[in-house]
Amino acid sequence: MGDHAHDSSDFLTDKSAKIFVAGHRGLVGSAIVRKLQSLGFTNLVLRSHSELDLTRQSDVDSFFAAEKPRFVILVAAKVGGIHANNTYPADFIAINLQIQTNVIDSSFRHGVKKLLFLGSSCIYPKLAPQPIPENALLTGPLEPTNEWYAIAKIAGIKMCQAYRIQYGWDAISGMPTNLYGPNDNFHPENSHVLPALMRRFHEAKVNKAKQVVVWGTGSPLREFLHVDDLADAVVFLMDKYSGLEHLNVGSGKEVTIKDLAELVKEVVGFEGDLLWDTSKPDGTPRKLMDSSKLLGLGWTPKISLKDGLFDTYKWYVENVVEQ
């Protein structure tokens, strides 16, 4: 059970294997389903929240007893921004711990061959070294605004490791960087920086506004990964990786918020001015994950930021604007 064990799990050889994608309707889950379908997998088990409440232990156990999937990809989670985390901390820790514990334990007890748990880059200490290596986990205090969510995700990583150590069970974890793409959240109040910019430039274009004002100086550096690249990495990990350590999944490419805003402006086709309100705060100066371990195993991201933004904007116009 070495850290980079290459005992290929035959994940790609049997396209009729039953795969449970938990959380298939969100940004990440929907991309994983698209990827698996494009590869010819024919036996995906999908349940909406109304069909299966993953926080209910007995319901989850009954589901696994009846369906007996061979593989599980766990992306279901309660997610939200700073405001939501501050307002509903009990929900963020309790619901995520319940989902993870129920799915991981039932998977093991009902004979699942391999499970992949997906977390988030917020598991790392607030003052982690940049780029952030996997071994920065638990080396310092978390960002207080989302520690409830982060603690749950850290527990999920540790649970996968514990089941591997005690039972020799093939449970692995991946921690993606900032993601974007089709099915992202474009809500005006609680979306992340990239979809928020896209929405603002689109609305400015439609309303023929003269300018868009963005907070800060535009100097912070951020990393983005298109969700279809993450889905590709998920398949790679299911097929190739059986290690104890969680692996970072990032693009390894940084962009300033200023360059990101200019690129989104170009993709959207907004022809007015972009102004920076430097009286407003910038946020963390740099946030980049060190994904060299995954890259060293032979995976590489394929979608450039510009191509990914065009793809995302097309989806936004067709699915959000026209609703």
- By annotation, the residues acting in catalysis are 149
Rounded distance, CA 7 to CA 168, Å?
13
For tokens 């939501």, what's the residue? 84
Q: What does residue 5 show for φ and ψ, rounded to 5 degrees?
A: -55, 130
At residue 217, the 3 state secondary structure works out as coil
Rounded distance, CA 75 to CA 78, Å?
10
Burial per residue of 183-193, b for 16 or more beta-carbon CB atoms within 10 angstroms, e otherwise: bbebeeeebbb
Contact 300, 252 (CB under 8 A): no
Q: Is 165 exposed, middle or buried (0-12, 13-18, 19+ CB in 10 A)?
A: exposed
Q: What does residue 181 show for φ and ψ, rounded to 5 degrees?
A: 145, -170
What is 245-259 written as a DSSP string? S-EEE----EEEHHH
Using alpha carbons, list the distances in angstroms from residue 259 to 223, 278, 305: 12, 16, 11
